[in-house]
Each structure stands twice: as C-alpha cells, then as structure tokens.
Structure 1
Amino acid sequence: MTLLLQAQPSDWALFFGRFHPLIVHLPIGFLLIAAVLELDRLIRGRSVSPHTITTILFWSAVSATLACLFGYLLSLGGGYDEELLDEHKWQGIGMALFAWVAWVVKSERIGSRLRMRQLIYLPALGLAVLLLLSAGHHGGALTHGSDYLTQYTPEPLRSLAGIPPRTVAEFKAKPITDVNQALVYEQIVNPILQTRCVQCHNAEKAKGDLRMDTPDFLKKGGEEGPIFVAGKGADSRMVKYCLLDESDEHHMPPKGKPQLTPEQVTLLSWWIDQGASFDKKVADVQVTDAVKPALASLGGGAAPGSGAVALATAGASAASPQPVSPVLTMKIAPADATVVDALKKLGLLVMPLSKENNQLEVSAVNLKTLTDAQAAGLAKLADQLVWLKLSDTQITDATMATIGKLKNLQKLHLERTAVTDAGLRQLGSLTYLEYLNLYGTNITDAGLANLAGLKSLRTVYVWQTKTTEAGIAKLKQALPNVEIIGGMSANTVAAN
C-alpha cells in the first residue's frame, strides 16, 4: 500500500489545513438542512421561503469549497493512504460542485433563466448529499481506519449489509503471570504501542510516513529516519517526543489523545537501552532500578504493595535480589502543587514513581540549559524527591549544596556536568543514596574519597572521569558492597 509523499509544506499551509475538521462540519449542516426542508416540501406539502433555501445552499457551497481547500492543505502533511485520500478528495470536490449547481438553479436571479431548472435542482441536491455522506465516511476512515463505522456491526445487520465477519480481533495483550518470563517486546512494549501509538501510525494512516504496528515497520522508522537507536533510549525520538511538554507540536501522542504514563515511558526507554530486542525475555536483559517499579505495575512477579519488583538481573553478580530501598515505600506527604508547577514551567519533568506513594522523579532531559539558580527550587521537594536526573545541564558545585538537602534521594545522575570533587562533599547527608552517575565529569580520586561515608551507596559510574584504579580500590575498601563501574561503553552507562 503506497503512501502519499510530498515535499515539506510551509507552516502556513499546515496551519490552515488544521482548520479542515472545523470547516467541514458547516456544509454537512447546511446541506442536510436544505435536503430536509425540500423533502418535507415534497412529502407533506410544507414549504419555506425559496430565499431561505437559496441562502442555505449558498453557504453550503461556500463552506464546502473552503473545506476542500483546507482539506488539500491538510493532506500536504502526508501520512495518509493515497487511494483513500484521492477518493475522499474527489468526493468532496464533487459535493462542493453539486452544491453550487443546486444553488444556481434554485436562485431566483440566475435559476429563473434556466429552462430545465426543476429537472436539474433535485438531482443536484441529492447527489451533493450522497457525496457528502460518502466523503464523510472516507474522512472518518482516513482518521480512524477503514472499518471505524462498521467494526462493531452486530449480526444480523452485518450479514444483511454484506460486511465480512470480524476476522481481526481487537488487540488484547497476552497476560503476564511471571514478569521474569515475559517477552519484553510482545508482552510489555507492543501493548503500549498498540494502545497509544498505532491509532495514528498504521497501514491506513501513517503520520510522518511512520508505522508502528509491526516490528519491521518499527525498525524502519519514518520520514525523519529511525525512531529509536538501540542502546540509547534517552537519545531516541520514540522516547524524547513522549517527554516533551504536551503543548509542543512534536509531543507524542498529540494533545487530546490518551497519553503514556510515566511507567510506560520508563518501559519504552528501558527496552531501547537494553538493545531493543524483539525476542528476549525480561530474564535475558538487565533490569535496572529505574524500571523495577514499572515492571511491578504489570502484574505477575510484583511484591504486593511494595511499588518495586525483585527481579534477577541477567549477568548480575548477586545471586539474590537486592532489598527494596525504604524510601520507595515510606509514607511521605504530597508535594506542594505550586512548587511542582513552578518546576514544570521551567521545563523540568516532575513525575510520580507510583500511584500509591508520593515519591517523585525530576528529570532535566528537556532542559539542558538548567542553571544553579533554577535548580535551587529543588530544595522545596526535599521530602518527595527520590530520583534526580541532571545529566548534560549547566549546573556546577553550587547546585550540590541544594542536592545535599534532598534527604530522601536514592538515585542521582550528574553525567557530563561541571561538578567537581568539592561538590561531592555536599552529599554526605544523603543517607539513602544508592546510585550515583558521574560519567564524563572531572571527578578525581579525591572526589571518590568524599563518598566513603555514604553507607547505602551501591552503584557508582566513573567512566571517562579522572579517577584511577587506586582511588576506586580505596573506595571499595571503605564500601565493600559498592559496585564502581568504569572503563566501559557509553551505552552501558546510559542503560541506567
């Protein structure tokens, strides 16, 4: 099935094209009113002023013409089935044409000069209405799929109308009884795509020339190229577009459509980080701390009420799962809504870790320009902020004083920031800190020494820092349970 491909239209064309769904309702109303009045006149002998019907027909023709124009501009955005779009387009043009014909022959000034006006008028009006109904059906098919109106037609109406039996059932996710044995793509990722993405990216409506209904099309990408890069969830458009503000034109799904939950975004990012495999099970890939609560929400394998799930990590050195951090389950008062709104207005993402508790994650993935002054507002979430991602921002050691006040912080991302050894001294009060990512910073062995008092620390990333094997060994001596990871690929670092 071929898709309409065109050069990138101007913003003006797309702007006016978006008015098509609004304008198209006007000729629908006008034409149907005219048809009902004429039908009432024929059946019951009732009549209204010819001028009234002429006026209605005039505005139906005008609005139908505008709808055709705006519809053409909308089609320039691409992503529609070419054959179906052509049918819809010519039906709309035909409707507008016959509406003009009906108006002309009904008009007292023009129609009175035509000898065959009565023979032309009713057929023209009837054809305009028929084309209106047909164009409306095809418009709905372009937007919602070809079987949108008939998908749930019951028997015996389905047989009487000659509609084939339903052969494709509504998508139903395969139940998960054991999270460890669940197929990552088939049982976790695909259900998210089917319920949130496929409506606009399928065989009949591929917005942006992108289909997401099968693995092959998902890997192919769209007109802007691949939508994910295996091993780099944070850098993949599939994830980045979901994290944009809902008012952003690139945000996906579009505003007004069912949105992905934070847990679903986490799962998609995790799947990409782990290589975007289409055949592996959860037990075959690394299960990071960030994804455990999201996996727990899927069902089987969750620890009741814990908000996290204990899953064996492929290749992990420990034979048994690590205990759940107490900050993930402790009772915490809700955050001040005004504080959360202020942070969101800056461009920070503020997301709950679970529906049951008030713990929060704050991410600057969309605010790389974050400064120390802006980050100072994080201190107002000292109780609720548990996960903090400040990677690639402009923060310095000045922000570390603010971070030191986040007493319940469990995970901290500082990759590729200007933080130094002096800044790490501010973390001494973070008794719950388990994860610290220092990849790409100027931290030295002296900075690692500042971490020796963090007894809860379990994972530290020091890839592309100025630390040495001697400094790492010294910290390991102070914290025997800590895993210090360095000398690996950037993809491995990003996986957490």
Structure 2
Amino acid sequence: MIDFILPLFGRLHPILVHLPIGFLVFGVILIFWFEKKYAVYSPVIQFAFLLGAISALLASISGFLQYQNEGYAWDTVKFHLILGIFTTILSFGLWYHLKKAVSTPTQLKIKGASLIMIITITGHLGGNITHGDDYFTEVLPPEIQALLGGEVSTTEPLELPADNWEEVEFYSGAIQPILDQNCKSCHNPNKLKGELDLSSFAGIQKGGEDGHILESGNPEESALFSRLVLPKDDDDHMPPKDKRQPRKEEIELIKAWIESGSSENAKLGESAIKVSLVEPFFKRNEIPFYPVVDVAKLPQDSISKLRDQGFFAEIVKKDSPLLKVSCINFPGFSDSDWYMLQSAKNQIVYLDLTGTAITDAILEQIATLPNLTVLKLNQTAIEGSGLEKLVENKNLKLLYINDTEVTLDQLSALDAHPTLEKVFAFDSPVADTGSPSQFSFYLETGNLSLPPLPTDTIVY
C-alpha cells in the first residue's frame, strides 16, 4: 500500500533540485557582498548554507530514487548524480567552515566560487537529461549549431517524391524520419527514457525496460504502434500528451510498416501498400503565382505618394517588393497620367485599370512593365488596337477585357503568348464569336447555359 512513496519522492526531484540552488547561490552572494560586515551577517550566511546543504541532500536522494524507478541508464545520469552528491558534501563543508571561521578569508571566497561552478555544471547536466543535449542549441540557426559542433536539428515533416516513392526504403526513408521528429528527443543514446532508443533500427529491435516494442506483422501487439493510439490521458500513451503528437497519417504509416514485416531494407514499393497511404507525404513543388525576381522594395514614401494620388497600392504579401495597384478610387486616370506609375514599374505585378479613361495608346506603356502578371482593362475604351504589344509582358498570366470593344481578330494577336493562361472577355465582341478552344490560352466568355432539369417543369 505504501510502495508508491519512494517513486513519488523520486518524482519530486525536479522541484526539490531548485531549493539548494537558491539557498547556496544566495549564501555565496552574501559572502562577497558583506565581506567587511561578516561578523554581523554571519548567522544569516550560515543559515543559508545549512538550508542549502539539507535541501541538496534531499534533492540527491530524490534524484537517486528517480534514477532507480524511472528507468534512466546509469551512463546518462552518473555525472549529474555524482556532482549532486559532491555539491551536498561541499555545502555542508562550507556551512561548517563558516560556523568555525572568525572572518571571511580568501580561501572561503574561492570555495564559494567553486561551489557556484559545480552547481552550474550539475544543473546543466540535469537539464540535458530532462530536455536533451541540444535543448539550448536547437533554437539556434543551423549555421550556428554546426559552428558549435552540434548535430543540426530539424523539424521538417516527412516528404516523399511523388514520381518514384516506390524506391524509397520504408524504414530509413519514412519511419525513422517520423520517429526522429516525434520520439527521438526522449529516446536517444544520450537520453534513454525507459531504456529505449528510437534513433536507430538496432535500438527499436532491442526495445526498452518493458521488453520488445516490435512484433513483426502484428501492430496491435507492438508497443511502438499500440501506445500511439491510446487515449491521450492514458499514462501509457506516447508521446506524452504535452509533447508534439504525430499525425494520424504518420501513425498509419508506422502501422503499415509493422504489418509488412518491419524490415530494415525493404522499399515502399515492395510492401504492397496503397498509394493513398503515402500520398499525404508527397513533396509538392508549388510554383509561385507571381514571378520570383530580385527587385528593390519601393520606399514607403513612394507607396504613400501613389495612395495620395488616388491609387490603391499595397504589397502582394508581407516583406515582398511586388505591388498591387488599382484605380478603383481613381476613375479619372487616363493615358497622360501614366507617369505617376513610372516609379513602380519594376514592382507592379497586378494592375487594375477597370473603369478608367484609358485608350489603346496606353498599351505601349503597359508593355514596359517587366513583372506584370494580372492586367484588368474592364469597362474601358480599349478596342484592341496594339494588343499585340502585351507579348512583351513575359510574366502576364491573366488578362481581363470584360465590357470592352476588343474583337476576336485583335485578341488573336496574343495567341501563343509565352505565359498567358486565361483571358476573360464577358460582354464584348469576343464573347459573341469566340471559341474557347481556338487559342493557346483559355478564353472565358461567360456565355454559359445549363441543361434543363426535370424539376424545372414541376408545378407545385
């Protein structure tokens, strides 16, 4: 009935260990601070070291019990435990020395400084056991981690090539990256929580203090999988609920690996798994909509000036030099006002001239925008003369000529445009004669009709 007392006292170690640190550091500070008034403050300094020594003793005992009951490997805790005991002995020694000393000799200061150094090392080793060797360095940039001689940490999710995923080794290419991201921080050679190392295939095969964690072909009997699917409030659930949890797709992949025989060298294609199981991990190379170019950011005062002139101007996304410019609040914009946009000609990727007083003459100026991607000329006097000049806009993808007088023949000048993907031509001559399939780009005319439905004739 009382067997829980010692394990419980062991688990108090992370709390108790802070007491001696506070008392002893306070005592050492007083030694240096009240050097000339030592006789006055001697009882306070002695009491600080006595409390520090007693709490260090309790912390050492609880630490040893935690080591005994929590399954830590001796190689992991030995230096921390030995230095903790040494700290306790030195603390009692300093208390005794202070009690007998009539003054504060230099020797006492040296012992105090040595004690602080030992506490620092002991605390650092304890932090490594709890949080891992890379606790402080893992937040540093990879370049600095490498400079310090550490292993560069990564939190990148698992990615598989979509075209030849079958050639990826099931264990090393899929399972181990999942374990590295979710389990390795507590189960590695330097921190063997539960005497379990999940950083290598050999460690997985060996298992931990509770025995084997892998039963090939039987995931339900394999702790490597079964603990992942326990309720988070269950004491046996892994990882602990306050840690990062693997995605359900990752858990399913671990299950499939065990079902396939949990081989070290078998490839995904040899494991008879469905494509749907690995599809969530396919690496997708997303092509950015706007061009990736090296252009200078427009100064904020220049953007403010555009706004003062009546333009709506904003960057396409945070920290981007590329701009969206619209004349939604500037209907009087005309060909002669183009000079206002000259300062932003390299940054404009989205230009909306809808409802303005422009004519075909402005197309020659628009053609000078090297990064223009979206152009809206809706509800303007544009007739299409000179539309071929837009071939110069090598990044143009979307063109809007709704409610203009552009004809099909004039639009054909843009056929085979290198980047143009879609043209919108609602309420225009093109809409009356255009064929969506006759151009290299998709032509959206808006002349859509839906087939009649039986319900349309029902009378209620």
TM-score w.r.t. length of structure 2: 0.53
Give CA deviations for 1:280-311 in whole Å, capped at 9, x if unaligned: 333222225xx93x533213489xxxxxxxxx
Instruction: For residue 89 of structure 1, report the CA deviation from its aligned partner.
Output: 1.2
Cα separation, partners in 2 of 1:155 and 1:227, compared to 1, 3 Å = closer
Instruction: For residue 236 of structure 1, report the CA deviation from its aligned partner.
Output: 1.1
Tell me what 2:74 maps to: 82
Tell me what 1:101 maps to: 93
Equivalent of 1:297 in 271, 280, 284: 280
Count of matched residue pairs: 281
Instruction: For residue 272 of structure 1, report the CA deviation from its aligned partner.
Output: 0.7
Tell me what 2:457 maps to: none
Counterpart Cα distance in 2 of 1:254 and 1:94: 33
Equivalent of 1:39 in 32, 51, 56: 32
Give CA deviations for 1:155-177 in whole Å, capped at 9, x if unaligned: 9999xxxx985363334677422
Tell me what 2:256 maps to: 270
C-alpha contact 2:142 2:152 (8 A) present in aligned 1:
no
Give CA deviations for 1:78-136 in whole Å, capped at 9, x if unaligned: 64453452221121111112222222333xxxx25x56874664344333222111111
Cα separation, partners in 2 of 1:50 and 1:173, compared to 1, 3 Å = same
Structure 2 counterparts to residues 19-38 of structure 1, below 5 A = 19-38=12-31
Amino acid of the residue matched to residue 24 of structure 1?
A: V
Verify: 1:17 aligned to 2:3, yes or no: no
Instruction: For residue 278 of structure 1, report the CA deviation from its aligned partner.
Output: 2.3
Give aligned-pair identity as a percent: 28
Cα separation, partners in 2 of 1:100 and 1:157, compared to 1, 3 Å = farther
Cα separation, partners in 2 of 1:246 and 1:173, compared to 1, 3 Å = closer
Instruction: For residue 182 of structure 1, report the CA deviation from its aligned partner.
Output: 3.6
Counterpart Cα distance in 2 of 1:67 and 1:301: 52
Structure 2 counterparts to residues 171-210 of structure 1, below 5 A = 171=154, 175-178=159-162, 179-210=165-196
C-alpha contact 1:99 1:124 (8 A) present in aligned 2:
no
Amino acid of the residue matched to residue 175 of structure 2?
A: V
Cα separation, partners in 2 of 1:255 and 1:16, compared to 1, 3 Å = farther
Counterpart Cα distance in 2 of 1:255 and 1:46: 51
Counterpart Cα distance in 1 of 2:144 and 2:261: 48
Verify: 1:282 aligned to 2:268, yes or no: yes
Counterpart Cα distance in 1 of 2:111 and 2:140: 31
Amino acid of the residue matched to residue 139 of structure 1?
A: G
Tell me what 1:139 maps to: 126
Counterpart Cα distance in 2 of 1:182 and 1:54: 66
Counterpart Cα distance in 2 of 1:105 and 1:155: 48
Amino acid of the residue matched to residue 22 of structure 1?
A: I
Cα separation, partners in 2 of 1:206 and 1:164, compared to 1, 3 Å = same
Give CA deviations for 1:362-418 in whole Å, capped at 9, x if unaligned: xxxxxxxxxxxxxxxxxxxxxxxxxxxxxxxxxxxxxxxxxxxxxxxxxxxxxxxxx
Verify: 1:170 aligned to 2:153, yes or no: yes
Equivalent of 1:56 in 48, 51, 56: 48
Counterpart Cα distance in 1 of 2:40 and 2:134: 39
Counterpart Cα distance in 2 of 1:164 and 1:79: 34
Counterpart Cα distance in 2 of 1:246 and 1:14: 23
Counterpart Cα distance in 2 of 1:152 and 1:81: 27
Counterpart Cα distance in 2 of 1:274 and 1:157: 41
Q: Structure 1: give runs of 5+ residues left out of the alignment.
A: 1-9, 303-496
Counterpart Cα distance in 2 of 1:230 and 1:92: 43
Instruction: For residue 28 of structure 1, report the CA deviation from its aligned partner.
Output: 1.4
Instruction: For residue 203 of structure 1, report the CA deviation from its aligned partner.
Output: 1.0
Counterpart Cα distance in 2 of 1:264 and 1:156: 29
Give CA deviations for 1:451-489 in whole Å, capped at 9, x if unaligned: xxxxxxxxxxxxxxxxxxxxxxxxxxxxxxxxxxxxxxx
C-alpha contact 2:170 2:264 (8 A) present in aligned 1:
yes
Verify: 1:127 aligned to 2:111, yes or no: no
C-alpha contact 2:49 2:94 (8 A) present in aligned 1:
yes
Cα separation, partners in 2 of 1:47 and 1:187, compared to 1, 3 Å = farther
C-alpha contact 2:132 2:190 (8 A) present in aligned 1:
yes
Counterpart Cα distance in 2 of 1:253 and 1:139: 21
Give CA deviations for 1:259-283 in whole Å, capped at 9, x if unaligned: 2232222221121112112223332
C-alpha contact 2:23 2:52 (8 A) present in aligned 1:
yes
Larger radius of gyration: 2
Structure 2 counterparts to residues 193-232 of structure 1, below 5 A = 193-232=179-218
Counterpart Cα distance in 2 of 1:286 and 1:196: 26
C-alpha contact 1:189 1:267 (8 A) present in aligned 2:
yes
Cα separation, partners in 2 of 1:11 and 1:48, compared to 1, 3 Å = same
Counterpart Cα distance in 2 of 1:301 and 1:180: 16
* Secondary structure in 1 matching 2:281: coil
Structure 2 counterparts to residues 245-394 of structure 1, below 5 A = 245-287=231-273, 292=276, 295-300=278-283
Instruction: For residue 64 of structure 1, report the CA deviation from its aligned partner.
Output: 1.0
C-alpha contact 1:94 1:128 (8 A) present in aligned 2:
no
Cα separation, partners in 2 of 1:153 and 1:53, compared to 1, 3 Å = farther
* Secondary structure in 1 matching 2:212: coil
Amino acid of the residue matched to residue 233 of structure 1?
A: P
Equivalent of 1:66 in 45, 53, 58: 58
Cα separation, partners in 2 of 1:81 and 1:204, compared to 1, 3 Å = farther
* Structure 1 moving runs of 4+ over 6 Å: 44-48, 151-158
Cα separation, partners in 2 of 1:165 and 1:100, compared to 1, 3 Å = closer
Cα separation, partners in 2 of 1:56 and 1:246, compared to 1, 3 Å = farther
Give CA deviations for 1:311-354 in whole Å, capped at 9, x if unaligned: xxxxxxxxxxxxxxxxxxxxxxxxxxxxxxxxxxxxxxxxxxxx
Cα separation, partners in 2 of 1:173 and 1:48, compared to 1, 3 Å = farther
Q: Structure 2: give runs of 5+ residues left out of the alignment.
A: 286-460
Amino acid of the residue matched to residue 16 of structure 1?
A: F
* Secondary structure in 1 matching 2:69: coil
Give CA deviations for 1:136-162 in whole Å, capped at 9, x if unaligned: 11112223344544677889999xxxx
